Structure 1
């Protein structure tokens, strides 16, 4: 049996600090028994795409999924990611008995594979942790025994202390719910693969990296102390829950602890990129007046996050997702738009409105290189309002992921921000193109994903560890599951364990 414990989006610096303090005894004990691998994970340049690669073993350019709300060229609009084909997770490809709890950004299986698959169990998020189970009654049975999951639907923007105290309570309870379900089901039946995703660490990293994004009204000293300890407290709760799961495993079970992406302070200025791009490509519209954020960011800043949360919760799930998709590029005149900022909140993404690829494309393929060079040169002139740099590099996606079957779904440029905090940024400015001011606080996330920091801790049980040549890859996790199942799944990854 192989068990994969996904310590999702764990911060390398926080882990190091807590391990040194002896606050993560389960992870520390496993580290003594196993081998820690830093993973080569190019999908982390598209943080949301890393999850699909992790679960399926399929490279980013082959599956083309990189953000929950993604551009559809035939439709000339943004659509929720469920509209796009996704690679099957490894447990569906293998057909082995699997216990899977809360695979992030996943979808219900098209058939019912053997085992127990549950999503939206520890927490429910209508975008990335949608509720489903296979067999269909598994969710209801667990809810009867342990109670229903708590919602954690993210609403971009500033939050109150009371809202965050409520979120803290839900996050601290979530890891125990994974252990509750896993220990129950492991005691009832045998599995070939168990894949348990501890999502609370991911959410806590975004929302509780620091308290800079909270409304100071109501943030009294006691609330500040409690909220300020949340991230580390959640990590401790994950470690304790993992300990319960490890104790329930067969003594010869193979084990891996995995984090597909990292987490550190939020450095993103992606909310300002739409108007930075507009200033470069159409400077006449912005030279006489400061440019303001893109339409969806203006809306987010204009309405309190609590109000938007109430409106969203009142809408049916499909309606809320469709509305968000429509708002992402609302009001764009495609007959004059040469390029646009793709939805993002981590790196910045830019896509050309390319003739022959986009339904309403206007940029001729032979002009694409010149347009990209114009964009790169123009955006590179922007700095923070104090003159410090904001862009580290701008890279052509085709140079990195240009050969995959679905690489055409990816944006054309990645804007990588400098590694300085952006949570207090008020805007950016360019001597050529003027000033772009931020609306509100942007996403309201105090923490965000790092480009690196993916890792896997491999703890062999009955199997033999493989000492890889070179640095292991994110794709190797699914390949390991296939190897231990004795299946050739046609994956590019190399196993880290063999029978």
Structure 2
């Protein structure tokens, strides 16, 4: 007799925060689940040219989870796609996510198993699922195209329960108090509607697998972590030293209540799983990847020139910005574009945005890019795009690790780097990156630089678009010093939180020892674990292994 499996994901649910709040008496349902079952820490890696690196890219991890395969096997790494034939960037959800053609989702099990899938990020509708699939009702951007099977089900869900208020709508800024106020209410509404949908879907059938994901921790972590946690440098300013309610804890508490309601509907003999593929902590990666790296490569390619945020490394950095002037982060960053005229530079902070449309220092104005609907026109790394054909190397837009593309002859439309130069440039840039320092602390900024290709002629289509991947140390800064190219910053901080390479898995049910610990694992191990509990066959091509094969007694 098969036992049903109910798997509940928390997208970017952070185990460090959860453990802390459980110890303080919060999150009683998650705490009870952990006490009644087994627990494993999750961390993830990727291999570039055989070199192992830490990996916390949410889109890639959800593809790993769904396929049971590593990123290098499926050839999917990131949501952004770069086109060397025209130097363009694309992020259309219909085409940029993993397509699941070579490797199908693990739950596409055919007629023998009844499966319900609700709002799993980064997935697609699969024809091999006997049951229902609802994707893109809620979740963080980029998630999955909004679709369902049966095709009319998503519209019925939206009509009956309402649309999700935060779907693709977490683009606010931390100094916009109206946005933060709205977001708190929207997160509460999102969790409430999601919980009701989950409970009703669970009751509709005797599912062999019921798989759903709460997307709200991802949105909340990105946007309001700095209102919640003292390890964020803006926390004392925004939280008034902890005297205002914690909006991030509030979101987790609502999710905990939702999990409790779902479990009330669960069959007594069910396996109950709760997991998160990665966590969320202070945002140490967005500014280095989107600002510092792009500007560093500008200065590398154009010696003696600066574009964004020039500073003097001979003096201590000024205080961190806590009261930005502009009503957008792109406005704050474009204001940092170097103006050689001291009079214009003096009045720039008070210049209306409509007068800042002009390109400057060879960079494209973000206001013009957004008018032209250029993908990620708001991101500083994109502003350098008009100069990419002239540069030996440039930074691709990204949210997490830094991405460097070499402008290679025969590969890029206007490539200027020969095959013989490729190796030397990669090595030179690697050393430049390792010399970067946080100007406030003197600590190194770069943890690791990984090569993605064995040589300039290595054209495996499953490689990432980038030639070099930059992994940053996990500490925030707004200003960086390079002994080679001077100071960049200070700049205004961007999103509050970013992905941290820490997740968790907990499971209770028949044969699982309460309070037990499982070996450390990764995202690829969850699919075989779920299939093991379902009594379903585990594909030989999986890179992951079941976590519960030994402790479970059938």
Task: Please give the range of the TM-score, normalised by the shorter of the 2 chains.
Answer: 0.7 to 0.9
- After superposition, the CA RMSD in angstroms is 3.8
Asked if residue 446 in structure 1 is aligned to residue 496 in structure 2, the reply is: yes
| Secondary structure of 1:284's aligned partner | coil
Structure possessing the higher radius of gyration over alpha carbons: 2
Match of 1:372 among 413, 426, 441: 426
Alpha-carbon deviation of 1:86?
Answer: 2.8
Match of 2:75 among 40, 64, 77: 64
Distance 1:346 1:50 in 2: 13
Name the counterpart of 1:433: 485
Asked if residue 4 in structure 1 is aligned to residue 7 in structure 2, the reply is: yes
Distance 2:396 2:308 in 1: 26
TM-score between the two structures when normalised by the length of structure 1: 0.82
Distance 2:405 2:151 in 1: 39
TM-score between the two structures when normalised by the length of structure 2: 0.74
Asked if residue 145 in structure 1 is aligned to residue 160 in structure 2, the reply is: yes
Alpha-carbon deviation of 1:272?
Answer: 2.0
Distance 2:74 2:459 in 1: 8
Distance 2:132 2:41 in 1: 30
Match of 2:544 among 480, 493, 499: 493
Cα contact 1:258–1:457 (8 A) shared by 2: yes
| Secondary structure of 2:81's aligned partner | strand
Name the counterpart of 2:387: 333
1 or 2, which has the higher helix percentage? 1
Q: 1:113 to 1:213 in 2, by over 3 A?
A: farther
Name the counterpart of 1:197: 213
Alpha-carbon deviation of 1:128?
Answer: 2.4
| Secondary structure of 1:166's aligned partner | helix
After superposition, what is the alpha-carbon deviation per residue over 1:451-485, rounded to whole angstroms, capped at 9, x for unaligned? x21221122337899x9996433211112233335
Name the counterpart of 1:361: 415
Alpha-carbon deviation of 1:245?
Answer: 1.2
Name the counterpart of 1:417: 472
Q: 1:419 to 1:322 in 2, by over 3 A?
A: same
Name the counterpart of 2:318: none
After superposition, what is the alpha-carbon deviation per residue over 1:304-363, rounded to whole angstroms, capped at 9, x for unaligned? 9xx99xxxxxxxxxx999632567645433442222112223322222223444444333
| Secondary structure of 1:408's aligned partner | coil
Cα contact 1:72–1:409 (8 A) shared by 2: no
> Aligned residues, how many?
471
| Secondary structure of 1:203's aligned partner | helix
Q: 1:79 to 1:297 in 2, by over 3 A?
A: farther
Query: Which sections of structure 1, spanning at least 5 residues, go unmatched?
Result: 309-318
Alpha-carbon deviation of 1:385?
Answer: 3.3
* Residues 36-435 of structure 1 aligned to structure 2 (within 5 Å): 36-42=39-45, 44-80=55-91, 82=93, 83-84=95-96, 85-87=98-100, 88-92=104-108, 96-107=113-124, 109=125, 111=127, 113-121=129-137, 123=138, 127-128=142-143, 130-152=145-167, 153-155=169-171, 157-211=173-227, 228-268=245-285, 269-270=288-289, 271-286=291-306, 290=310, 301-302=333-334, 323-325=374-376, 329=382, 331-386=385-440, 388-398=442-452, 407-422=462-477, 425=478, 427-435=479-487
Query: Which sections of structure 2, spanning at least 5 residues, go unmatched?
Result: 47-54, 312-327, 336-348, 355-369
